[in-house]
Structure 1
Amino acid sequence: MGNRIERLCRVRVLLTAAACCVAAVARADLGPENVVLVVNGDSLASRTAANHYIAARGLANVAVVTLHDLPDWEATDVGTFRDRILTPVLTGANDRGLAPQLDAIAYSTAIPTKIRLSEDLTAEVLGESPAPHKIFTPYGSLTGLTTLYEPVLQKRAAEYLAPNANAAFAGPERDAEGTVVAPATVGFRRALGFGADRKPTIGPGRRYLLSTVLGVTTGRGETLEEVVDRLRTAAAADGTRPAGAVIFCETKDVRSTTRQPQFAAAVAGIEAEAAARGLDVRAEIVTTALPRRERALVGLTAGLPGVKPMDWTIADVGFAPGAFADNLTSWGAVLSERAHGQVTAVDWLRFGAAASGGTVHEPYAVPFKFPSPFVHLHRLRGLTLAEAVLRSVSGPYQYLTVGDPLSNPYARRPIVTLGMPESSREEPLSGVVPITLGAADGEGNPVPLAGWELYVDGKRIAVLPPGQPFNWDTTDLPDGAHQFAAVAVAADPAQSRGRAVRGAFTRNAAERVILELAPGTTEATWGEPLSVPVVTRGDRHGRAAFFHGSDELAELPGSQFSASGPEVARQTTAWLDTRPLGLGPVTLRAEATPAGDDGEPGTPVRAAPLHLTIVPPPNRVATVAEEVELLDGPALRWADGEPVPLANGLPAGWLAKAGAPAEANFTLTAVVTATETGLHCLALKTNCGVTIAVDGEPAPAMMEPSEASAAAKAWRCVPVWLEPGRHTFVLTGRTPEKGPVLDVQWGRRGLQTATAERWQRVAQSDAD
């Protein structure tokens, strides 16, 4: 217990110290250098969404933190959230040197979005703090608790539950006559804290993190394709200044009346901002639950319990690229499989919004748990999605933000020119390299700057005032391929950021060790081994390995460099397992670590990255004819016994409740109907060593069983690609000596329990 508390305190101290050290950096508008992306490495959906987000936003390998063996993908308790999610992510950022530049944590899919808080609300933990009022229901969101990371790490529930927990909240202001007026818009940087007086400070004080989840593919969530398409569209909308309307729906429903006192000030602020910037955006208050005939909503604030797709179609409404839809209702982010009839964030995303949000449990109709109407004004003034939400929610512990944290359709980003000498593996850079920097607007006019930030391989190496020359010292870097990024920070209220990136090869070591990936395929099929030709040259022995993000995939077999000198090439082939990579655009990198004269590992040498696209295998054709009679529930057969119908399906814990014998072989057979073409996910939590066949062919899991998943303490993902129709699933396994577990979730749009209606059997199997 003591080690756990010490670890949590160490994370907070390191992050706070790093923030204070960079307090002089003027920055607001976010860039990929300020984001850490968290991935569930055991979920194909999480990996794939992350792959596409990395490609769309240009995140560096070092900014990706991969988690494994999460006990649940939908909901968890706050202790598990601290120990298995938040602490590893923050520790990873610290250990990689990212803390000084870290402002936001983006979660990919299949990471628990609902956090149970009961263990932080015991009398022992609360101490002298009174028990929370009933409106502070004991469930928090993944993104809200990440924003409030300091009190969460320290178990200060009274602080993170508070209505004013977020001192960075930019609430409504009042003029001399007491009229509500729009607040000022200020960008966010974690380096700036808030003192006891709730005023900004560069010294000790409360600090926050921006946070969103990219998508939700569990429970009643999205398809993977929906998440990927939305992320691409949001990135493409940045800086496009879309025309459209921000609509505030005013009704007599308490979900609407709660925020109505601020509607007029928000409309006035938006109209003034649009006029000042020449934007074709208007704001309007309507007296209907939904707007009517608005084809290009750039923002929506509503308050209604439910919207059916047909209602949306009849209203003749659509969203502009990059739009944010906010609706105050009780269960807007309650995305578990149990239907509750209320409109959710996923519904707004399906209607076309780029981002949305909601509370993960009953919030009561209190405004401080939801974005103020000024969230749309902050976005119009150039804040990213994550910044605008932070500035708009006073008590964010329950609010889940779904979308790209960097989404910024009204950004005013400078166009950056980055000058540096050309380089290649044959003609690398060495020593000190002069860098030239420039920034202009879209018409070529110079842009007033607050300063420059320079990054190498995703880590910040320098902060410069405008006009200061820079010489890049390459001698501190490993030899090989690198990425240099220059970020111009504009001297405007949002401190907008422009970015340019260049690849470079460096070589400074006396020993010439070269590692290169020979030209090969640029496309690979998921589940099939990938061969990568590798060439090594040098006069040192050593080790070489492949990496995806920050994860080591495999060690290069026979990775001994040629002892005949750097001009003699030695070629070998590495075989890589494509299953852990996910789908879509993937960047693989290889590093060689030559041994020094003392035999100890020396400085790594990096090959140029290998860019691939992982494509899905062919869809499986349905094998059960439509005229075959089906009954609800799968069939279970023990060894050579008769099949037993499972008329109640496969609820959690079903195998133990069924009186399963110890150390017995079994076969579970089901017919599953696919209504759509494409990826479906089978998730298993089992200690029975289960293998799966679909339509008579093996269905491999994404990962080999870990110690945790083999003990039924974590989920495994088995992706299958199906044509519409009826498909046969056969799960074969053997029960352990005691405590058998075979929990099954299944789905295309999210993940749900394998109910009797979803998993059926052929009628004749009852008699066979």
Structure 2
Amino acid sequence: MIFRILVAWLAFVFFCLPSQDADAGISPENVIVVVNGDSNVSRTVANHYVAAREIPLANVLVLKDIPEDLTIELEVFRDRILKPVLAGIQARGLTATARVIAYSADFPTSVKVTEHKKQIENEAVKKYQSATASITGMTYFYQFVLADKPEYLTFGSNLYARGPFKRYFVNPFRGEDKELFDDAQSKADNEDFAESAKLWQQLFEKHTLQSALAIRAAEASSQADDKQQALQMLAKAIKAGWTSRRYLEQSESLQGLLDQQAIAKILPLLDNSPIAWQPPIALTSATGWSASGERVPANAGGVRYLFSCMLAVVHARGSSLQSAVQNLERTAECDRRFPVGTFDFTMGGDVRAKTRLPILADALLYLNETGFQTRTFKSSLPEKGDAQSLGVMLGTASVNPDAGRMNLANGAIVDNLTSFGGVFGRDGQTKLTRFLDAGAAISSGTVAEPYALQPKFATPMLWAYYARGVSAIEAYYLTVASPYQLLIVGDPMAQPFAKSVGKLVQIQFDQTAGNKINVNVKSLGLNTPTVIVQRIEYSINGRLLKVSPPLNNVTVNLPDDLSGAFEFRTTLVGFDCSEPRVSFSQWLDSNGKLPSPVATITQPRSGVTQAGDDGSLAGKLKVLVKAPGADSLAIQAFGQEIASQNGDEVTFVIDTKALGAGPLVIQPVASFGEKKVPGSPVTDQGVASSAK
């Protein structure tokens, strides 16, 4: 009987997260690109990035009236940037999938939080917490900003960040549950394992996302010689998200359970990384985080976050527009390439290097045990050799990292611990953008004096988790305990070590028996690390429609009110602690009662294809749009109407000088009375200025 129960439970391990957690990992539908609509530079960077990363059009938000200053007040950030972004996400139905807010260029980089600092009661903390925060840090802590609360100004405000492995077993509760936890621990210490197991199980039944509680219940049950109950709780722990295989193998009370057929089958799929630190875990939009680093339902007090970064800082002390575009387009090619080389770490005598040394040994062990080579160096930069640098940890005020001085693999993270790497309003100290221009995928720097405190910077585990397969943006927020001052810039999606699911998706639209889409999943013979598929997600125009188990053939019923063209996306989510994602998208036409408009570019823009073009000298764009019977036609770019005219066949001549350079995606929309019908988008790549 117990075996049948275990088999039933473990059949769901591959589908272990509830549907509202369907935004784990990073793929294009998880990234919201925010554009300064008054800036050609911002639009140009966004145009290139959206095309390179195939970001859904619905995921691009254009804001107006963005302040030109590098530093703005908290109220201005909240009311003119953060709230409009969150409102746009909600209005487009993207809340379930949005995980990353990526600001294009020409946004303020820092935010004054003077009033919040005044509310810090602990003088020892207040002394070292600056009243200047980064735009990315404040976006990450959006819940505190909206609530006008200063709790993010602590040294451990990022509960999502990973800590020592023993953190799993600390008491994360308050009130009655705290007492229950302490009682369970006390009974275990006094070897009353049967009663301890009951209390751990009671706690887990109230907090079903906290897998460590189920592990404690399994251990206590095993020590009480109740093997069946121990097996049940172990299965529940795995279903709740426990991923550490090595801990199970090293736990004396659980070792005897691992040869059971149901457990033995799932064990090889779990993470076998060293257990000095908690393994990486994906952020979710529907759950928050507890003090033990595990998921907590948002309605149960869990703290929620949103990853955030800037795609580029185009500034006299930052990158040029040409470099910013080249950096992003280069990095877009790095995913799942598994480059060979070394991870390089400074061991210099400067306090900027010494700050991160206490955790360096754990990172080196993690990397070495997972098959990567590492080097340490005492100079300002690692010695350039034949081997590529897969990542570089620096700690120096000023260094010249220009191309040629480092041999960086595409996708490498270079991070320097210094005071003013993210301060672009003054000279002095190497700016983080220098590392991007030298070939890094992403980098960071503080926007005010951080006092060389480790919680304000990424630990060396940044590179260990990155090598484990998480994306660049996840690697940062997994390893910074207090990121409110840290400005993160670059490609958030970079993931050169992400495992593949080894599958290909074919999408077929079947209208013979109602609007249905048949999704066929086929295996690929890839010679790269792969994981099995845990679940499959389906979305329309960015909105999550359905989540299914990993079936080879699935039929998706479309909404009855669907009209016009739509983007259908299928995302395969791998079974791994890094939860890799691979998405496949296709534009389809619903062929409804009203015809979808069709756009044809008859004259592309000029003046938008040369390196450094910002579109301000762009020639006119001519587009022919047809939709028989339509009352009027319009053209949209990033969801904003840029031209409209009555009639069902119109040749638009569009002035595009304010739309930026690079690939310009436009979408036709036809109006039939009050009904608007979208068509499939087309992309204008532009033409050389000399062409006629």
TM value normalised by structure 2: 0.76
- Which of 592, 602, 619 aligns to 1:520? It is 602
The answer (yes or no) to whether the contact 2:393–2:416 under 8 Å persists in 1 is yes
Aligned length: 556
**Change over 3 Å in CA distance of 1:420–1:296 after alignment to 2:** closer
Contact 1:25 1:463 in 2 (8 A): no
Deviations 1:26-56 (A, max 9, x none): 5532011111110111111110110111111
| DSSP-derived class of the 2:361 partner | helix
The residue number in structure 2 matching 1:362 is 449
Structure 1 position 117, deviation (Å): 1.2
**Following the alignment from structure 1 to structure 2, what is the Cα–Cα distance between the partners of residues 616 and 42?**
25
> How many angstroms apart in 2 are the aligned matches of 1:39 and 1:360?
21
Q: When you count helix as a share of all residues, which structure comes out higher?
A: 2
Cα distance in structure 2, aligned partners of 1:496 and 1:87: 30
| Paired position in structure 1 for 2:414 | 325
Distance 2:507 2:395 in 1: 53
Q: Partner of 2:127: helix, strand, or coil? A: coil
1:363 partner amino acid: P
Task: Establish whether residue 284 from structure 1 lines up as the match of residue 367 from structure 2.
Answer: no
- Which residue does the alignment assign to 1:188? 283
Instruction: Measure how far apart 1:165 and its partner are.
Output: 0.5
CA drift at 1:68: 1.1
Contact 1:230 1:354 in 2 (8 A): yes
- From 186, 201, 210, the counterpart of 2:296: 201
Alignment of 1:239-388 (within 5 A): 239-274=336-371, 281-294=372-385, 295-308=387-400, 316-336=405-425, 338-340=426-428, 342-388=429-475
CA distance in 2: counterparts of 1:59 and 1:477, whole angstroms: 25
Residue 54 of structure 1 aligns to a residue whose secondary structure is: helix
User: Pairwise mapping of residues 387-426 of structure 1 onto structure 2 (< 5 A)?
Assistant: 387-421=474-508
CA contact (8 A) 2:23 2:97 kept: no
Residues of 2 paired with 1:169 and 1:210: CA distance? Answer: 12
Matched residue type, 1:58: E
Q: Is the 8 A contact 1:263 1:373 kept in 2?
A: yes
For 1:110, which of 106, 109, 114 is the aligned residue?
106
Alignment-derived partner of residue 167 in structure 1: 159
* Residue of 147, 150, 175 corresponding to 2:143: 150
- What's 1:479 paired with? 563
Q: Secondary structure at the match of 1:582?
A: coil
Corresponding residue number in structure 2 for 1:432: 515
Cα distance, 1:399 vs structure 2: 0.6
Aligned-pair CA distance for 1:249 = 0.6
Q: What CA distance in whole angstroms lies between the structure 2 residues aligned with 1:184 and 1:231? A: 28
What percent of counterpart residues are identical?
31
What is the CA–CA distance in structure 2 between the aligned matches of 1:198 and 1:447, rounded to whole Å? 24
Q: How far is 1:436 from its partner?
A: 2.4
In structure 2, what is the equivalent of residue 610 of structure 1?
A: 682
SS in 2 for 1:212: strand
TM-fit CA distance, 1:549: 1.1
Higher strand share: 1
Report how far residue 544 of structure 1 moved: 2.2
* Shift, 1:535, TM fit: 2.0
1:141 is aligned to 2:164: no
| 8 A Cα contact 2:23 2:285, kept in partner | no
Change (3 A) 1:293 1:71: closer
Q: In the alignment, residue 280 of structure 2 is paired with which amino acid?
A: T
2-structure distance, mates of 1:194, 1:32: 24
Q: Deviations over 1:553-587 (max 9, x none)?
A: 121x2x234xxxxxxxxx32212121122111111
In structure 2, the residue matched to 1:731 is none
1:74 corresponds to which of 66, 70, 94: 70
Gaps of 5+ in 1: 1-20, 275-280, 562-570, 596-600, 619-768
Judged with a 3 Å threshold, the aligned counterparts in structure 2 of structure 1 residues 398 and 441 are, in CA distance, closer, same or farther, namely farther
Quickly say closer, same or farther: Cα 1:442–1:153, change in 2 above 3 A. Answer: farther
Aligned residue number for residue 225 of structure 2: none
Q: Which residue of 1 aligns with 2:637?
A: 548
Q: How many angstroms does 1:121 deviate by?
A: 3.4
- Give a deviation string over 1:456-476, Cα, whole Å, max 9, x none: 222221111222854333453
The verdict on how the C-alpha distance between 1:83 and 1:385 changes in structure 2, with shifts beyond 3 A counting, is same
Q: CA RMSD in A?
A: 2.7
Q: Structure 1, residues 212-243: CA drift from partner, whole Å, max 9, x if none?
A: 11110134111111111111111101000011
3-state SS of paired residue (1:50) = helix
Q: Does 1:576 align with 2:654?
A: yes
Aligned position for 1:42: 38
Q: 1:229 is matched with which residue? A: 326
Q: Could you say if the C-alpha distance between residues 142 and 348 of structure 1 is closer, same or farther in structure 2, counting changes exceeding 3 Å? A: same
Whether the 8 Å contact between 2:324 and 2:437 is mirrored in structure 1 is: no
Provide the rounded CA distance (Å) in 2 between the counterparts of 1:418 and 1:554: 36
Residues 272, 429 of structure 1: CA spacing in aligned structure 2 closer, same or farther, 3 A cutoff? farther
Work out the CA distance in 2 between the residues paired with 1:196 and 1:246.
31
- Deviation per CA, 1:359-384: give whole Å up to 9, x if none: 01111010000000000011111100
Q: Which has the larger Rg?
A: 1
Which residue of structure 1 lines up, in the alignment, with residue 201 of structure 2? none
Q: Is the 8 A contact 2:22 2:97 kept in 1?
A: no
Contact 2:604 2:620 in 1 (8 A): no
Superposition map of 1:438-517 within 5 A? 438=521, 440-443=523-526, 448-467=532-551, 470-509=554-593, 512-517=594-599
Q: Is the 8 A contact 2:162 2:479 kept in 1?
A: yes
